[in-house]
Structure 1
Amino acid sequence: MDVLVTPTPQLKGELQALSSKNYTTRYLLVAALAEGTSTIYYPAHSEDSDAMRRCLRDLGAVIEEDDEKITITGFGSKPRHVNELNVGNAGAVLRFLMAIASLCPEVTFVNTYPDSLGKRPHDDLITALGQMGVKIDHREGKLPITIHGGAPKGGKIQVSGNVSSQFLSALLFLTPLLPEDSEIEVLHDLKSKVVIGQTLEVLEQAGIVIEASEDLMNYKVAGNQKYKAQQYSVQGDYPGSAAVLAAAAVTRSDVKLHRLAENSKQGERAIVDVLRMMETPLTHTNGTVHVQGNGKLKAVEFDGDAATDAVLAMVAAAVFAEGTSRFYNVENLRYKECDRITDYLNELRKAGANVEERQAEIIVHGRPEGVEGGVEINAHYDHRVIMALTIVGLRAQKPIRILDAHHVAKSYPIYFDHLKALGANVEWTQSIQTSQS
């Protein structure tokens, strides 16, 4: 399905932020790795978290759910032997479960999204698991991937953090369960350190003890640990909320978004600071962000590494800012569902934005008068690109059509419902082509 975004000058209303996708997937995993029953309140519902639920069931977790919570009876360190797992298009779920699947004799992760997740590399995790005695069959680091496991060994492990922090997170979930103590050294750079902070926070809540160096480049993990069955409560999601807040900033608005904790460890919380830097009128108190936008924005410079999943929304806002904005240290955007630098900027140009790219930078020459629009946009099957392009459409002079916009469900299935509730003129429409070129 496509979405037609018609220029909308004003947004008004109140929303409850979605629950965090990142925390939900991590809580689901640590609950499954515990022996006993855990409860997760306010879990996120998205294609990613649904993929984690589905795969954990396949691996032997017993999962029950109602409107408020999920209860999970875990399999501990002994997942059920399965031949095949399908993570859909969920990269984090794949990487976390590649590590856990090494506790099984042989598991193949199938490739159901060849044009998206199927193109993403996982070599760094494959290399690290190889150091632990796990044999892996793969296609140049990509899906389909078969794990020949059964008895991974701890010890000294090195993993590159250059492409993604998810490889390190995967090892941090696995190593406490192994008989041996482990020392993990991160090579090169570590992208998205803030997200590693979330992983460590969840592991600590689950009763796991890990010694991390101050720079997060070295870890000592005692073996023979057990995950504890616990109660967890999922906080509001900043990455998805970033798009709603940016939409409020580029329009005349009076929008309140609730359930966004001021002290959250989500790096994307920086969307609030960036919009303030852009001189958007807003307040953030008692978990509520209140934006009273006037559509007038100033350019910013921002280090995007700590807030990876909010950068595209920030860029969309900067399209309408006065002056030139620069978002730097964002190379890892290239290794997501699509190349979120080249692919995204190509689509922004179609809509009339004046943008440039470097290997690790996005430069936006703002157009406060707005952009022309009146085009079809290829969203490259990427939920973050879909949300960000919608922001641009709200301030375009003519409607834009976002092809295959249903892929927003990967993280925010009711994104367009939420925008409609605020008064945005967005409507689903039948796809006019069967595939993107």
Structure 2
Amino acid sequence: MLVVKKTPHIKGILSAPPSKSYTHRAVICASLANGLSNLKNPLNGADCLSSAQACEMFGAEIELENEKWMVRGSELKTPDNIVDIGNSGTTLRILTGISSQISNGYTVLTGDDSIRKRPMQPLLDALKQLGLICFSTKNNGTAPIVVKSGKISSNVVEIRGDMSSQFITSLMMTLPFSEDDSEIILTTPLKSEPYLNITIDVLDKFGVKIGKIEEKNKSGYKIKGNQTYKPCDYTIEGDYSSASYLVAAGVLLNSDIVIKNVFKDSKQGDREIIEIVKKMGADVEINDDNVKITGPYELNGIEIDVTDIPDLVPTIAVLGCFAKGKTVVYNGEHVRLKECDRLAACTAELSKMGARIEEKKDGLIITGVHKLNGAKLKTYHDHRLVMAFTIAGMLADGETIIEGEDSVRISFPDFVDKMKSIGSNIEVI
């Protein structure tokens, strides 16, 4: 458990951890490339390590160091055992598509209790449209998932755009194996588009090209057939999702901090956290590769469309508690499909601290109370809730006990140490 007490001020220079999204995609692309790739500044978090370990089961040779992963890719082989991806939904979804391209046999993918509840049916349905055989062993659209090796026999696949972008990423990374050019057609408006832009960006570095379909009555993506993944040296940029907790701490507390390794021109959607706090009234300084914050600032509630930034919702919920007036989060139905139902979880747990939060079908209405009280909080094995609630606890009167602290290893393994380094009054017990 994590014990958090009121923190009077924070000061120092710290780096945002490497991007989880970029690390996942880079290690999988490198494993599909015939040759040696060097991945610099990877995230050594549990989820990304799950991707690396799974890629080894498909034939890649990977040497893991703290600041560099050396990946020698090869042709996909049939795994010798069940592929257990732990708690990593990204790994499960991307490799469900990729595993269809082994030379022969079957792949079985599964994970922990949480993963075995995550929806997979939209992706399974999409892969079946391509002529591939895949199914849930429980016949309910959840892991364990069985995928048979097979040839892609259709060149058009339709899928909803308003559920998980990871389904579409899986298709983008699988369809280059097709002999023919392919199209991914979106049947509903797209959400979380920045994550797909990250996928396109990483694929491009590894020699795979993805185009957009932008016609009057049709939207989606086009993929050339018979493309080949090529090895490269690739540097992983810092993660804005993880940096959001540092930003929130800086604007809410008496602070003087510099957050390094965050880039102004990043394709990450969660860079929007900077614009959000500026709109709320925080005059933060944005440079090419860092952000400087001298808080606290008097914040005002705003309305925030989270279509493309679902991972920022816990951070926004905490900011809203200390803002004047109402902060409205909307277009966030897909936020319920993460490690847990984050809309329900933020409402239930922050309310224990005295927050005024109303849960809506697609979002939250947070009325600022400016003062929270310490409480014992559940985090539902969700790393983002641990980190967001930590910031709330640093501003609350009394002591806050946060359960499930170890889940931060998924995306920000040294979160506690970094927060303590700038003066946060927190301790693991």
TM-score, length-normalised on structure 1?
0.94
C-alpha distance in 1 between matches for 2:214 and 2:344: 34
Moved more, 132-141 or 266-275: 132-141
What is the Cα deviation at residue 295 of structure 1? 4.8
Partner of 1:371: 372
Q: 1:269·1:307 contact (CA, 8 Å) conserved in 2?
A: no
C-alpha distance in 2 between matches for 1:121 and 1:10: 42
C-alpha distance in 1 between matches for 2:397 and 2:302: 24
Q: 1:155·1:180 contact (CA, 8 Å) conserved in 2?
A: yes
C-alpha distance in 2 between matches for 1:330 and 1:67: 35
Deviations 1:233-266 (CA, angstroms, capped at 9, x unpaired): 1111100000111011111111110111001010
Partner of 2:89: 91
What is the Cα deviation at residue 133 of structure 1? 2.0
Tell me the secondary structure at the aligned position of residue 342 of structure 2.
Answer: coil
Partner of 1:269: 271
Partner of 1:419: 419
Distance 1:239 1:97, change over 3 A: same
Q: 2:78·2:107 contact (CA, 8 Å) conserved in 1?
A: no
C-alpha distance in 2 between matches for 1:204 and 1:154: 24
C-alpha distance in 1 between matches for 2:135 and 2:178: 22
Q: 2:124·2:135 contact (CA, 8 Å) conserved in 1?
A: no
Q: Partner amino acid for 2:65?
A: D
Partner of 1:117: 115
Are residues 1:75 and 2:77 paired?
no
Partner of 1:176: 176
C-alpha distance in 2 between matches for 1:92 and 1:198: 13
Root-mean-square deviation over aligned CA pairs = 1.4
Q: Partner amino acid for 2:337?
A: Y
Are residues 1:155 and 2:155 paired?
yes
C-alpha distance in 1 between matches for 2:202 and 2:419: 31
Deviations 1:145-169 (CA, angstroms, capped at 9, x unpaired): 1112233334111122221111010
C-alpha distance in 2 between matches for 1:411 and 1:214: 34
Deviations 1:263-319 (CA, angstroms, capped at 9, x unpaired): 101010011111111212310113110111125221121111222212211221111
C-alpha distance in 1 between matches for 2:303 and 2:16: 27
C-alpha distance in 2 between matches for 1:54 and 1:275: 38
What is the Cα deviation at residue 54 of structure 1? 0.5
* Mapping for residues 5-84 of structure 1, pairs under 5 Å: 5-76=4-75, 78-84=76-82
Aligned positions, number: 423
Partner of 2:202: 202
Partner of 1:108: 108
C-alpha distance in 2 between matches for 1:349 and 1:222: 50
C-alpha distance in 1 between matches for 2:311 and 2:173: 22
Tell me the secondary structure at the aligned position of residue 311 of structure 2.
Answer: helix
C-alpha distance in 2 between matches for 1:310 and 1:9: 25
Q: 2:317·2:346 contact (CA, 8 Å) conserved in 1?
A: no
Partner of 1:397: 397
Q: Percent identity?
A: 32
Partner of 1:435: none
Q: Partner amino acid for 1:394?
A: M
Q: 1:161·1:167 contact (CA, 8 Å) conserved in 2?
A: no
Deviations 1:32-89 (CA, angstroms, capped at 9, x unpaired): 111111111111111111000100011110112333311111124x334434101100
Q: Partner amino acid for 2:57?
A: D
What is the Cα deviation at residue 214 of structure 1? 4.0
Q: Which runs of 5+ in 2 are unaligned?
A: none
* Mapping for residues 108-257 of structure 1, pairs under 5 Å: 108-111=108-111, 113-114=112-113, 116-138=114-136, 139=138, 140-214=140-214, 217-257=219-259
C-alpha distance in 2 between matches for 1:324 and 1:219: 38
Deviations 1:333-362 (CA, angstroms, capped at 9, x unpaired): 100000000122100101111011111121
1:361 alignment partner, one of 360, 363, 368: 363
C-alpha distance in 2 between matches for 1:11 and 1:301: 28
Q: Which runs of 5+ in 1 are unaligned?
A: 430-437
C-alpha distance in 2 between matches for 1:343 and 1:199: 29
Tell me the secondary structure at the aligned position of residue 426 of structure 2.
Answer: strand
* Mapping for residues 286-301 of structure 1, pairs under 5 Å: 286-301=288-303
TM-score, length-normalised on structure 2?
0.96
Q: 2:240·2:271 contact (CA, 8 Å) conserved in 1?
A: yes
Q: Partner amino acid for 1:293?
A: G
